[in-house]
């Protein structure tokens, strides 16, 4: 990580990502209160075989939907709002240790998730940084640089963590 990125991280925002239940995640702030959640859409609401998750603020109307575009050879998921694509999560290798997170309203991010490590990190196209530490098998602590914690990036990270935990 560059010195500029380290300086920006010192004053960052902390979140806790926890897998809750089957293929769902809760994102909590420093106080422990749930801020966001990413939940798999129920069987009743799903389209024909379409794998879809819903990202929302706790107890409020959904902000985004995340659905699978392809799984192999390298995965690709789309983040949509009101039917328009606002971001993508793309695997960069077959081992699923690098991801590219692209957003319509901000810089793209490369997320590195080494296989036998509890420390992950992400770097944006404009030198922003995200530091990740896996606390338990289903819990990640994430520190965003100042003003980098957009809901789109939080949704994409939660989705990568669910996929990493569920091994898909």
**pLDDT, tens digit (0-9, with 9 covering 90-100), for 133-166:** 988 878 899 998 887 888 899 999 988 888 777 7
Q: Which domains does the chain have, with CATH numbers?
A: 3-166 (2.40.160.200)
What band does 110 get if pLDDT is binned at 50, 70 and 90? very high
Tokens of 36: 């966001």
Mean pLDDT of all residues belonging to the chain = 84
**pLDDT, tens digit (0-9, with 9 covering 90-100), for 72-107:** 888 899 999 998 999 999 999 988 889 999 999 889
pTM of the model: 0.83
Please state the rounded mean pLDDT for residues 34-56: 76
pLDDT higher than 60, residue 3 = no
């Amino acid at each position: 990580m560059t010195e500029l990125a380290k300086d920006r991280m010192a004053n960052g925002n902390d979140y806790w990502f926890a897998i809750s239940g089957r293929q769902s995640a809760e994102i909590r702030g420093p106080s422990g209160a749930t801020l966001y959640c990413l939940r798999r859409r129920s069987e009743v609401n799903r389209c024909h075989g379409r794998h879809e998750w819903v990202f929302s603020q706790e107890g409020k109307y959904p902000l985004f939907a995340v659905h699978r575009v392809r799984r192999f050879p390298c995965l690709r998921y789309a983040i949509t709002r009101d039917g328009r694509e606002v971001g993508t999560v793309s695997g960069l290798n077959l081992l699923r240790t690098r991801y590219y997170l692209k957003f319509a309203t901000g810089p793209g991010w490369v997320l590195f998730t080494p296989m036998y490590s509890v420390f992950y990190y992400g770097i944006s196209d404009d030198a922003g940084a995200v530091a990740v530490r896996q606390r338990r098998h289903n819990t990640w602590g994430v520190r965003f640089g100042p003003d980098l914690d957009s809901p789109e990036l939080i949704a994409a990270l939660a989705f990568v963590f669910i996929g990493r935990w569920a091994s898909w």
